[in-house]
A and B are shown apart, each in its own frame.
Chain A
């Protein structure tokens, strides 16, 4: 009796399932039709509060889209007006006068005024906890001259301060909108967060009261895929419209061959660095560091690790920074010279521990590094560490490593070489002085000094810059306005259009 009942019930269920799947099998529309854009990402924001939670995923989703600052970094990596229509800088370059756009409101309805500028900048010092906040220590005080005129006074001139204002540090907050930043962000941007499904997606909807041009897509769904193949499949099967960044380079050719898609390949701020523990023998000896750098065939490494997609840089500067110059030929692959340098340094039977982040790019790069170094007689043990937790503790905090490989994604993070306590263990008074001068000098001085910093780092072989991560965006042909190079922290949705 029961057997038959069950069989009948199951038959009904199966028939129902077939009918339902049949009904919609023909339609392949994305999440919500023409007005909706679905963008796939790999890293999901843990929450929405970038003032206390570090990581790239939160500003990637919210900056420029939900939150705006006085200034923004445009597609050409130049500082452009946003909530400030214009600004003037005093001759001694310590006083910035911002003239604010009027008629701007937050998504909770509150008007945006100079009071909010003071509130937001002061709040970095008092409430923010992420380490980047130290960039704002140079601010002496903020004056509210009028509702549309804010004056920021610095303790000393700082070029990096205005640049920092284009990042999340410059985001403008409303005093009544900071109650639950982790879950309810309130900004002045063209979008507001209207839904979130943890482990799946964040839904952004156009803010009808936005001061600027309404965005081309009224709804944008940011979908998160922890698996690179799942992300690719989502685009191939029409589940999303854009891949914000391909993390499996082997899959790029299949998109390039497909007429439905456009593939954009540009640069990022992500330097994949082979770190040398400069503090510890034998890597405190510049000859050893140079020998290791000479021994590695970076061109072959890039081909093996990332399908040849990426840029060889030779120092900690991506091509989109104003002081970039190509230093990738400073140490041409020369195992013979490497061996000579090692014996000059009196190093035989060298054993080094290569303690890397357990991420795909680091794992495959480490294989090449170990085999190249093996050819000059250096014995390398690869130890993959769980990233971020274990790597952060043992390599980054405890400096327990000889060599390490990890990607450094922050913009203009060359300044980390000015911090002797950083895990590089690199201590050069000259570099520290150049960095200080670059920050306080004129913009022209800054470019000259930063160039000098990059050259010095290269000469000292302070690290080996294996390659710069590519920015590979794949999108359906209908989606226009995507940016080739990733220069800011934001996945900027405001420039997108519909073809």
Chain B
């Protein structure tokens, strides 16, 4: 797509209603983030269970709970608590956790790193599966091999990622002992261990997404195959695959890329579960632990980051899509 975009004169990107269109998207993004922050905060506030009591444990005296509530600022009006929190978040300060007594911001960054590796690797696996398989299924769509790929992807769609994870661990970690069953090694510490630890989680996450994506790739390639330019290429004597690779795939990639962007959100959610199965210290496991410990401030921070991430991905997809499709640009 980039090679196509580079050929366009720069002026056309910003002129002709471009700036207002993007500006409008940015305003929508900001309003969504603002509304999301209120929803997240309000939801935490109505959750049963007193965070001070939970932080102090089973046998804490009521006086002590009261004192701790005051210390955490939990006795202030909700609106003050919200403004205080948002003010901090805007400057990158997510507050100090009631439970861990550590600054939340740096932890978030740490955990987000793990999750992004996982999501990225999962996406890579999905693409590695979907691109070739989807193409094969399309080119051979009336033959047994094509039908078999379609059927297989249908099965893949039906398998939840966590189940794929459990099965993969049983085979490759417990029975064969080739790969670790879980755990995380930072890439700077030991790149080999890091990669070995990433393979099974990325496969579990990527297999299912790959199956979903295969179906989109198949449809996209099928559509492209019906186009005139491909028929022309074939009639010049090109065999089906070379014709597709030279003229078809780039066009088929447009709708697939859009789906991929939307799948990112699904992958983030899937990562929460996969982190649990493989004991990865990512955002997902941090979220679950924080919920269990009623570490409200941490939960708020994580959920906000996740919501903003999803909104941002959707924003990027919207913008990219209008950029890539000339028809949308003109309207």
Which residues of A pack against B, CB within 8 Å? 1-4, 7, 10, 13-14, 17, 20-21, 23-25, 28, 44, 46-47, 49, 52-55, 129-132, 182-183, 197-201, 223-227, 229-230, 233-234, 236-239, 386, 388-390, 392-394, 396-397
Contact = CB atoms under 8 A, between A and B. Distances in A.
A182 B100 contact: yes
Given A54-B57, A233-B181, A198 B110 contact: yes
B56 A237 contact: no
Given A4-B245, A389-B294, A53 B55 contact: yes
Q: Is the interface of B mostly helix, strand, loop or mixed?
A: helix
A2 to B, nearest CB: 6
Nearest to B288: A226
Contact of B277 (A198, A227, A392): A227
B182 A47 contact: no
B286 interface: yes
Contacts of B191: 20
B174 A198 contact: no
A392 B49 contact: yes
Contacts of B88: none
B187 to A, nearest CB: 12
Nearest to A132: B59
Given A229-B166, A237-B181, A2 B199 contact: no
A130 B281 contact: no
Given A182-B101, A389-B54, A397-B53, 7 more contacts: A182-B102, A198-B281, A230-B276, A237-B177, A388-B49, A388-B294, A389-B48
Contacts of B179: 21, 25
B127 A10 contact: yes
B183 A393 contact: no
Contacts of B110: 198
B279 A25 contact: no
Contact of A24 (B55, B57, B186, B196): B196
Contacts of B59: 54, 130-132
B124 A10 contact: yes
Contact of A199 (B55, B60, B111, B249): B111
B278 A237 contact: no
A14 B57 CA distance: 49
A183 B102 contact: yes
Contact of B57 (A2, A130, A223, A230): A130
B102 A54 contact: no
Contacts of A226: 276, 279, 285, 288-289
A188 B253 CA distance: 63
Nearest to A254: B174
28 contacts: A10-B124, A17-B199, A25-B178, A28-B177, A46-B100, A47-B99, A47-B102, A53-B99, A54-B60, A131-B56, A200-B183, A223-B183, A226-B276, A230-B181, A230-B276, A230-B279, A233-B170, A233-B173, A234-B181, A236-B173, A236-B181, A237-B177, A237-B180, A239-B180, A389-B47, A389-B50, A389-B54, A389-B294
B107 interface: yes
A284 to B, nearest CB: 23
A14 B253 CA distance: 21
Q: Which 3 A-B pairs have the closest CB atoms?
A: A54-B57, A389-B49, A199-B281
Contacts of A397: 53
A397 B50 CA distance: 11
B101 A49 contact: yes
B102 A233 contact: no
Nearest to A238: B177
Given A2-B3, A183-B101, A239-B182, A233 B169 contact: yes
User: Which of B49, B60, B102 gathers the greatest number of chain A CB atoms within 10 Å?
Assistant: B49
B293 interface: yes
A393 B180 contact: no
B1 to A, nearest CB: 7
B314 interface: no
A47 B100 CA distance: 5
B99 A199 contact: no
A412 to B, nearest CB: 13
A20 to B, nearest CB: 5
Nearest to B60: A131
Contacts of A3: 245, 249-250, 253
A46 B99 CA distance: 6
Nearest to A1: B3
A416 to B, nearest CB: 8
A230 B54 contact: no
Nearest to B55: A53
A383 B278 CA distance: 30
Contacts of B174: 233, 236-237
A378 to B, nearest CB: 28
A130 B60 contact: yes
B201 to A, nearest CB: 12
Interface string B49-84: 111011111111100100010000000000000000
A457 B281 CA distance: 45
B286 A225 contact: no
Contacts of A55: 57
Contacts of B192: 20, 23-24
Contacts of B58: 54, 131, 388, 392, 396
B224 to A, nearest CB: 12
B2 interface: yes
B102 A199 contact: no
B184 interface: yes
A17 B182 contact: no
Contacts of B56: 54, 129-131
A446 B288 CA distance: 44
Nearest to B59: A131
Nearest to B62: A397
A389 B296 CA distance: 11
Interface in B254-303: 276-282, 285-286, 288-289, 292-294
Contacts of B101: 47, 49, 52-53, 182-183
A353 B95 CA distance: 40
Residue in A46, A183, A226 whose Cβ sees the most chain B Cβ within 10 Å: A46
Contacts of B293: 46
B71 to A, nearest CB: 10
A142 to B, nearest CB: 24
Nearest to B57: A54
A237 B51 CA distance: 38
A139 to B, nearest CB: 19
Interface string B117-135: 0000000100110010000
